[in-house]
Structure 1
């Protein structure tokens, strides 16, 4: 980086040969392309950036390769994936952009298979994929670089590469050269790694400015000392300071105390360092895009990405927001603008859900399923060309099986409902290491296993995370063969519009679709609201065709699903909600729309403190 010096809009040099200089101001993470491609709907992008600007001047923008290249060589930068819209919006709001295009991003997002994991060592095939992706992306980005009059001042090369085993300097140098060929001196290239020698040893790239990441409670001096061990000069930068943390299903909601956050933030700013809050505004992993971790076990992440961040999932300021703002004001002038306020939320009441059709019916396979594939042994989601949702595996039970018999699926990704002739018999679970099930079977029954992808692992050594039945299936040690496989990606559920609902008194075999309709009152605005599925067990919710994501109140901690007002239809139009319920329904078959979220965090508050 010795050759790169950029003059930032404040007339302050980000000079990587020096030893100080804060890049104009504290940098807060306005949700990454997040505003368009990650956690915030396209139509809410400006609001999120407006709230962010009150505490800082930079918007951090991840670019999610897997969403922009859903299949090899097919690129999409339109609609919700319009990153240029985000850059233009940021510039209109006076924000500068820190671009983080990967190729790997983490971000607690689904590491879908089309974007090949990046921790492999030098590979011609992988580098060809990366080169094609970067050419498609960076030719769009170039006019948005600061040197070309755009808002992008920093461009990241890879992400936390030092956390992985490859440590391939030839590969990271190649990546640097790829980015440099597009960026030149029009922005600054940088890396981000953990604040420790072991991370920076492999993550630091020659000629690229290094930053670190660490959270509240960290020894700030020690963290930046590690950075100095590998980069003697230039500004000190914490590019991911964590004011909250992510949460998983079936665990307590994770929080980080405000006092702890402000104490560490104060220590960072006292060293004249720059800092980026990740996340300042978390948002939502709509659809099937939440990822997973693997600690002592597989841990799927929530639909909500609220993150206990300074701004809530709906973009409202919290007590933590105002406390952080007070700390920032000790070191930097604050904008003379009105403070953000909590927006009104809609409480639209109870909606009755009517039965529509069971998922396992043949007509649903034809209407919503992929063409059935027949193979001797079960194939993975990836081998079937499917990224998200569910795959139904079906085979016949042999006639010479004992009573009872033991079904054994040694490796599964991730959760499976087991049926005999469409009747649910039990659940297999990767998270709970449940891979066997005792069955009472009869010859020539149909064994059906519906496998759910609960989210691919997005960080750590198990990042190559395939889905489906990942081993052969046995029944009393007899290997089962001749499988029919039908995918249900549920990228569209428009087929259900043609299906009439049934009477509430009619019972469907689960899993099944349920549909309800409601209108807003004549004078109601289309306000943000929260879907409360209390009483339902586990499934997926859609409103007006938008996939809100997974609900699982039985496991928690998250109960409600965030519904942006932009997803709703104003009076007199009809709003339609669809649930795919997998495991159990309430007696009244009702949901409700409420004005307060329930994420399992008992200290939730949007009040100024």
Structure 2
């Protein structure tokens, strides 16, 4: 949240850090073609100014690919809509054109903040972990270097970063090469820097992504990294006069639909949780931890610590249970009429991107052919990422990319209309990021290919439409009594609840959805993100006090 940046940056400075690194997320600033956003959490210039006020240099990582466990690695989804065959991060004509257009908007805004022009930006990244990409395109690397250099010149240091073994593939001649690695033995650290020296015989040794924690996916254990080896390895690197940048010192939250995913092949798709706490020295809420204090002590052995009081842990309040009332099922005419952003007809199913939809849900519908079999196998070639299957609004089962479930049996007699609600759980952020969503390829019923599809778009981005639907329902003179549990069995359901707060009750808190299944939480029009307590490991959703308000919430 923009309102918290000053406090969080001051907390970082109090630890002895003298620089802060920030990605520039293309999709955040350019969510739709020719639409640019520079306010709220996208107010990059304000962030840079506040960092300078807090006596911090800035390391700018403009991408265009950032990874960061963000949807599509920070690329805007509409690139796949406009260019279905685009080859991202290559010398692809369409890709180069769009990157040039984006940099023509972004980089002139940054020029006055470059160190050589009197600003705090001391380093600018050219490419991000390109050595880990599936291909090495030398023409693309040279082109991106020249493009970045055109704006930066000699006013800041250009750099790349890679894991030690990927450095040969990611290195760009004439650009400072830096490394990514976490806590390691002294011997391993020496070997890593020796690898770097093969490409950078002179100049600083830099670990630009030193991992004090790690990322977490749904359906796995929460990742934790012990403090002792992190502190030990930090001390050794500083003794070697290396520069160290922590990834992450503060991670925050992937609010809304911004969390990405990793994919190592069939059955290895793993969606990132909403929290980006990362087991970092500062928590998701921006509070200090024992890890913060331990690393601050190590930093203090090499640099004078600033005379800034270490901020105390922010107050959290527990507001108690909130009564949630069912409003409408998504498959009802009431919700469909008010929330859909368009209906498209097609012979075969279309992807989210072909429908020009960022995230949320898409409802795929077709009429099932007659058959004398019972049950009947329903099969999809690819589902990305999770599909809830209904026949005439009767729930049949779930298809899952994560768990390689592409088929299910449909009992005879349920009806004739097949309804498949597909959820985008996050586009791949690492590797090949051309991650189209929806029902992809052909679909089969009793080995017969299904055709004649209607697709209803539910992006769930316009919260005003959801709130208007809720108010319309609540203002009805006679409320339906048929909602209850039957709604849950006939499709995803919207629930609504309120609670009241006084001004002195406005503090950070957490939403605990224990006992619920899988869903998305909105509070006062703000998308808190995805919850999934059925599998975890994340249960609670972080609620910044800035989302709360005096009176009814």
Q: TM-score range by the shorter chain?
A: over 0.9
Match of 1:223 in 2: 192
Instruction: State the 1:503 CA deviation.
Output: 7.3
Match of 1:424 in 2: 395
Match of 2:416 in 1: 445
* Alpha-carbon separation, structure 1, partners of 2:176 and 2:194: 15
Match of 1:490 in 2: 460
Change (3 A) 1:115 1:334: farther
Q: Does residue 434 of structure 2 align to residue 464 of structure 1? A: yes
* Alpha-carbon separation, structure 2, partners of 1:379 and 1:546: 29
Q: Where does the alignment leave 5 or more consecutive residues of structure 1 unmatched?
A: 1-40, 576-609
Q: Does residue 253 of structure 2 align to residue 284 of structure 1? A: yes
Match of 1:52 in 2: 12
Moved more, 77-86 or 557-566: 77-86
CA contact (8 A) 1:398 1:443 kept: no
CA contact (8 A) 1:251 1:556 kept: yes
Change (3 A) 1:192 1:409: same
Q: Does residue 55 of structure 2 align to residue 94 of structure 1? A: yes
Higher share of residues assigned helix: 2
Counterpart secondary structure, 2:191: helix
Instruction: State the 1:363 CA deviation.
Output: 2.9
Query: Which of 497, 514, 526 does residue 495 from structure 2 map onto?
Result: 514
* Alpha-carbon separation, structure 2, partners of 1:426 and 1:443: 13
CA contact (8 A) 1:400 1:443 kept: no
* Alpha-carbon separation, structure 2, partners of 1:115 and 1:66: 10
* Alpha-carbon separation, structure 2, partners of 1:401 and 1:142: 70
Change (3 A) 1:118 1:135: farther
Instruction: State the 1:119 CA deviation.
Output: 5.0
* Alpha-carbon separation, structure 2, partners of 1:228 and 1:115: 37
Change (3 A) 1:138 1:278: same
Q: Deviations over 1:362-414 (max 9, x none)?
A: 23222111210000100001111011111110011112352110000121100
Counterpart secondary structure, 1:50: helix
Counterpart secondary structure, 1:524: helix
Q: Deviations over 1:284-334 (max 9, x none)?
A: 000011000123610001000000000000000011101111111111111
| TM-score of the two chains, using structure 1 as the length reference | 0.84
* Alpha-carbon separation, structure 1, partners of 2:315 and 2:253: 19
Change (3 A) 1:268 1:539: same
Counterpart secondary structure, 1:472: strand
Change (3 A) 1:362 1:504: closer
Deviating runs (4+, > 4 A) in structure 1?
Answer: 115-120, 501-505
CA contact (8 A) 1:355 1:503 kept: no
Counterpart secondary structure, 1:553: coil
Query: Which of 437, 450, 460 does residue 480 from structure 1 map onto?
Result: 450
Q: Where does the alignment leave 5 or more consecutive residues of structure 2 unmatched?
A: 81-85
Change (3 A) 1:151 1:406: same
CA contact (8 A) 1:399 1:442 kept: no
Residues 191-340 of structure 1 aligned to structure 2 (within 5 Å): 191-196=160-165, 199-217=166-184, 219-295=188-264, 297-340=268-311
Query: Which of 113, 129, 132 does residue 160 from structure 1 map onto?
Result: 129
Match of 1:532 in 2: 512
Residues 60-71 of structure 1 aligned to structure 2 (within 5 Å): 60-71=21-32
Work out the number of aligned pairs and report it: 529
| TM-score of the two chains, using structure 2 as the length reference | 0.93
Query: Which of 44, 61, 69 does residue 83 from structure 1 map onto?
Result: 44
CA contact (8 A) 1:529 1:565 kept: yes
Change (3 A) 1:120 1:156: closer
* Alpha-carbon separation, structure 1, partners of 2:343 and 2:326: 26
* Alpha-carbon separation, structure 1, partners of 2:304 and 2:424: 47
Counterpart secondary structure, 2:327: strand
CA contact (8 A) 2:88 2:95 kept: no
Instruction: State the 1:264 CA deviation.
Output: 1.1
Match of 1:129 in 2: 98
Moved more, 494-503 or 75-84: 494-503
Instruction: State the 1:200 CA deviation.
Output: 1.5
Q: Deviations over 1:255-299 (max 9, x none)?
A: 100112111111111111000000000100000110001236100
Q: Deviations over 1:87-143 (max 9, x none)?
A: 111111111100000010000000142357875431222111111011100011111
Match of 2:83 in 1: none
Counterpart secondary structure, 2:4: helix
* Alpha-carbon separation, structure 1, partners of 2:480 and 2:535: 29
CA contact (8 A) 2:392 2:415 kept: no
Counterpart secondary structure, 2:473: coil
Q: Deviations over 1:397-438 (max 9, x none)?
A: 112352110000121100000001112111000111011110
Match of 1:574 in 2: 552
Change (3 A) 1:99 1:574: same
* Alpha-carbon separation, structure 2, partners of 1:338 and 1:256: 27
Change (3 A) 1:154 1:325: same
* Alpha-carbon separation, structure 1, partners of 2:472 and 2:274: 28
Match of 1:150 in 2: 119
Counterpart secondary structure, 1:223: helix
Q: Does residue 350 of structure 2 align to residue 379 of structure 1? A: yes
Moved more, 400-409 or 107-116: 107-116
CA contact (8 A) 1:537 1:554 kept: yes
Residues 106-121 of structure 1 aligned to structure 2 (within 5 Å): 106-111=67-72, 112-114=76-78, 120-121=89-90
